[in-house]
């Protein structure tokens, strides 16, 4: 299969989360199909590749490929994946590259013949250290270039299993050495395991089936398979599920730094994180945005679909300005397997969004979007709206300016490519005006970090907002060019 191509204006991509993970232990159920539907619900977390591993006590069978979940699996393939336990993964690469060998679940075998299939969501900051450990143990060759952090984890985890150490023992010994963001689902073909890094950067939850258990990146994946939400996997917790029930043990103390961008953009709106509805958070951010940056003379509030919808609803409710859908999104663009020609690329955002002229013509618009990264998409969108007859275009953004790259599982541009860094001023209003001029808006407003965090109803010290404030609670990775740029900018 051929990986899809994004068709954003000037090759700009939206912020993209690295992965989604899913696991199910349910003897007697069609675990491959449950995993398929779970991954389908998590498709937004990665559209580059996907895979499912199924164990039947005797062996593990892995099927994975490049592309979307619906393009990779069909009835015959799922029917061939028979067993009692399964783990699945949907991927967008940030570490390790786009090679097929880096598609997950990863597969490793211990010296004692125990097989392990593993799916990983997140990014590690000590990847080079773990890679060197794997080289020193003879598990990977020094010249192997395209080795992901996930591959290193699966290899080292399997290598820790021995006659005296179970998979659970190996995980308890290995996971404290892993630094960074990770949510894991893995299996030895008999037991379903799940683990979450001590900071809880990425979400991971536990659900109950009538005849089994489910672990997933988001609660929306529990909903689609009919599982009852039980609780979140705690940061620093390792869980094992089999016929004996659930076993849980801490491998590290919890020091919460959940990703605030999950609330702003990454997670599906029908997901809950730490008991807080993502949709409700985004609506509340819109309300706060309307109070911070009103637009009294505007005629309509329109969202940039789909991610801007909840915040636009909140903005309209708070401001009293009429809400309307002024843009139609083609849901299939950005997930196509057809390589675009240069002529099609020049159409840019028109391949994704088309204005409803009869709605916006002659109107003063408040356009609500979730974030601005490079600014190319917003610039093209504003131009398109003016061509369609908009009298004024006032842009409101439901997150602060993105000024720093993420090293914990989101693919952002380098610091120099971020439009918020076009003006080095520390004055937010100066930065905002610079961006406003660059994208050609009549006015521009960003919600503040304080208001965004407050809308999540989570304590500020339990959230990571590194991409907005430059504070990296998990540290910076070694040997990463963007991390070196951050160190230089911060004077470290």
Active site residue 19: yes
Cα end-to-end distance, the chain, whole Å = 44
The residue whose two tokens read 């076993």 is 247
Nearest to 50 by CA among 61, 35, 60: 35
Instruction: Check the annotation: does 370 bind a ligand.
Output: yes
Q: State the Cα torsion 316-317-323-327 to the nearest 10°.
A: 60
Q: CB–CB of 431/447 below 8 Å?
A: no
* Residue 201 φ/ψ, nearest 5 degrees: -60, -50
- The residues, ordered by sequence, that sit 6+ positions from 178 with a Cβ below 8 Å of its Cβ are 124, 126, 130, 153, 197
State the residue for tokens 């021995």.
162
- For residue 105, say if its preceding peptide bond is cis, omega within 30 degrees of 0: yes
Q: Where does residue 81 rank: exposed (0-12), middle (13-18), buried (19+ CB within 10 A)?
A: buried
Residue 484, preceding bond cis, omega within 30 degrees?
A: no
**Positive/negative CA dihedral, 77, 80, 86, 87:** negative
Q: What is the largest CA-CA distance in the chain?
A: 75
The answer for residues whose C-beta is within 8 angstroms of residue 164's C-beta and 6 or more apart is none
Q: Which of 19, 152, 205, 432 is catalytic?
A: 19
User: Is 152 flagged in the annotation as binding?
Assistant: no
Q: Can you read off the two tokens belonging to residue 300? A: 């309509």
DSSP string, 413-442: --GGG-GGGSS--S-HHHHHHHHHHHHT-S
Q: How many CB atoms lie within 10 A of CB 70?
A: 13
Pinpoint the alpha helices (H) of 207-341: 219-224, 261, 278-292, 309-319
- Nearest in space to 492 (alpha carbons), one of 408, 411, 475: 475
- Tell whether 411 is in a known binding site: no
Contacts of 241 (CB under 8 A, 6+ apart): 25, 191, 192, 193, 194, 213, 215, 247
Binding-site members for [4Fe-4S] cluster are 259, 406, 464, 467
| Residues recognised as catalytic | 19
Binding-site members for Mg(2+) are 307, 369-370
Annotated binding site: 259, 307, 369-370, 406, 464, 467
């Amino acid at each position: 299969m051929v990986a899809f191509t994004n068709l954003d204006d000037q090759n700009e991509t939206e912020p993209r989360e690295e992965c989604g993970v899913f696991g199910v232990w349910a003897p007697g159920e069609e675990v491959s199909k449950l995993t398929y539907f779970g991954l389908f619900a998590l498709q937004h977390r990665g559209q580059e590749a996907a895979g499912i591993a199924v164990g039947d006590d005797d062996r593990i069978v892995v099927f994975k490929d490049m592309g979307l979940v619906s393009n990779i699996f069909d009835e015959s393939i799922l029917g061939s994946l028979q067993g009692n336990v399964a783990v699945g993964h949907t991927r967008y690469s940030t570490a390790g590259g786009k090679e097929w060998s880096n598609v997950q679940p990863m597969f490793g075998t211990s010296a004692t013949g125990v097989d392990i299939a593993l799916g990983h969501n997140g990014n590690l900051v000590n990847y080079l250290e773990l890679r060197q450990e794997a080289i020193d143990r003879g598990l990977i060759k020094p010249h192997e270039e395209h080795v992901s952090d996930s591959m290193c984890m699966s290899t080292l985890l399997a290598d820790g299993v021995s006659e005296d150490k179970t998979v659970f023992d190996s995980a308890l010994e290995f996971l404290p050495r892993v630094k960074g963001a990770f949510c894991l689902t893995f299996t030895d073909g008999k037991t379903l395991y799940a683990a979450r890094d001590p900071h809880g950067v990425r979400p991971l939850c536990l659900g109950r089936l009538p005849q089994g258990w489910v672990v997933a990146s988001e609660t929306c994946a529990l909903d689609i398979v009919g599982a009852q939400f039980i609780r979140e996997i705690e940061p620093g917790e390792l869980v094992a599920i089999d016929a004996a029930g659930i076993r849980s043990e801490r491998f590290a103390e919890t020091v919460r730094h959940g990703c605030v961008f999950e609330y702003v953009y990454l997670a599906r709106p029908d997901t809950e994180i730490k008991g807080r509805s993502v949709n409700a958070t985004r609506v509340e951010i819109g309300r706060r945005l309307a109070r911070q940056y009103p637009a009294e003379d505007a005629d309509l509030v329109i969202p940039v679909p789909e991610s801007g919808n909840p915040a636009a609803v909140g903005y309209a409710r708070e401001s009293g300005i009429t809400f309307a859908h002024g843009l139609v999104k083609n849901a299939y663009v950005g997930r196509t397997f057809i390589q675009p020609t240069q002529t099609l690329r020049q159409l840019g955002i028109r391949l994704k969004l088309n204005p409803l002229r009869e709605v916006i013509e002659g109107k003063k618009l408040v356009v609500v979007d979730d974030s601005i990264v490079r600014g190319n998409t917003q610039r093209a969108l504003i131009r398109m709206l003016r061509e369609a007859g908009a009298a004024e275009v006032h842009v409101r953004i439901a997150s602060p300016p993105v000024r720093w790259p993420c090293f914990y599982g989101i693919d952002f541009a380098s610091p120099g490519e971020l439009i918020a860094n076009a003006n080095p001023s520390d004055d937010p209003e100066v930065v905002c005006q610079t961006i406003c001029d660059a994208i050609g808006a009549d006015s521009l407003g960003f919600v503040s970090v304080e208001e965004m965090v407050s809308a999540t109803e989570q304590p500020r010290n339990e959230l990571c907002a590194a991409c907005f404030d430059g504070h990296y609670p998990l540290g910076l990775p070694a040997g990463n060019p963007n991390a070196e740029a951050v160190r230089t900018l911060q004077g470290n």
